[in-house]
């Protein structure tokens, strides 16, 4: 599952919430309204993603990020980055040759 990284330690999210005049509780409720499943994002997760300090998280699932950004009526890319490609996840190939030496 793809995780996204929040930008600016969540400050752009907090700024957007302030612009929209919504609290974390209200944002969690708005995510339920935009979720086709009707589940939304829990208040605990909204606090972790939009918060600061030791309880905050830098990464969240793509679906969580999308629901939060959509509830704020702002572009996903304004608040979250894709993680960089790690060499641990890039498939490596080794040239074994195509011909049979016999």
Angle separating helix axes 43-50 and 11-20, nearest 10 degrees: 120
- Global pTM? 0.79
pLDDT in tens, 9-34: 999 999 999 999 999 999 999 999 99
Contact of 13 with 50, CB cutoff 8 Å: yes
Q: How confident is the model at residue 2 (pLDDT cuts 50, 70, 90)?
A: confident
Q: What is the pLDDT of residue 94?
A: 55
Q: Distance between CA 102 and CA 99 in Å, rounded?
A: 9
HSE, side-chain direction, 13 A CA sphere, residue 24: 13
pLDDT value of position 92: 54
Residue-wise pLDDT for 52-86, tens only, equals 999 999 999 999 999 999 999 999 999 999 877 65
Given a contact cutoff of 8 angstroms between Cβ atoms, the answer to whether 4 and 57 are in contact is: no
């Amino acid at each position: 599952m793809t995780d996204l990284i929040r930008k600016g330690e969540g400050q752009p999210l907090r700024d957007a919430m302030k612009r929209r005049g919504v609290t974390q509780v209200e944002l969690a409720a708005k995510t339920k309204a935009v979720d086709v499943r009707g589940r939304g994002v829990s208040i605990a997760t909204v606090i972790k993603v939009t918060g600061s300090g030791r309880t905050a998280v830098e990464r969240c699932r793509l679906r969580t990020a999308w629901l939060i950004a959509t509830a704020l009526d702002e572009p996903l890319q304004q608040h979250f980055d894709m993680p960089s490609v790690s060499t641990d996840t890039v498939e490596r190939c080794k040239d074994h040759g195509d011909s049979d030496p016999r």
